Copies of this chain bind each other. A is one copy, B any other.
Amino acid sequence: MKDELFFNLHDVSQGIARTLAEGLETRVFPGENVMLSVVRIAPNTSGQVHAHAEEQWGVLLEGGGVRIQDGVEHDVRPGDFWRTPGGVPHGFRAGAEGALVLDIFSPPRDEYRRAGVGFGVSATAAS
């Protein structure tokens, strides 16, 4: 069977389902060196600040909110994207519209290869 290689950001039947926290639902797409995660964040919902060794990039596709990174809050709007080096604490607080965020991990995060709940790491306090 051939691997599926074509997807759509809005098709919530695709990818591996993960509930990061209440109101933060993602669909995970693992590749060989890269893993994509399409995260749907409910209005006025926050993801806890956490950190992991893997490099991460994020792209705000829809909605708006605040990207918390390395203890600094950045207001973000659609089209904004950011790089989070490995080990840097980060989180997201969605505004009144909620947010759709594309997260990109490299290397892939092993703990996201199966359906489940949680960020896969202990949450750490923001500096």
Contact = CB atoms under 8 A, between A and B. Distances in A.
How many copies altogether? Answer: 2
Contact of A69 (B3, B5, B69, B86): B5
A104 B34 contact: yes
Interface stretch (A18-26, A76-84, A91-99, A112-120): A76-84
A85 interface: yes
Interface size class of A (residues with CB under 8 A): 20 to 34
A84 B5 contact: yes
Interface in A39-96: 54-55, 57, 59, 67, 69, 74, 76, 79-86
A7 B86 contact: no
B33 A107 contact: yes
Contacts of A59: 9, 59, 102
Interface of A: 3, 5-10, 29, 31-34, 36, 54-55, 57, 59, 67, 69, 74, 76, 79-86, 102, 104, 106-107
B55 A8 contact: no
A59 B60 CA distance: 13
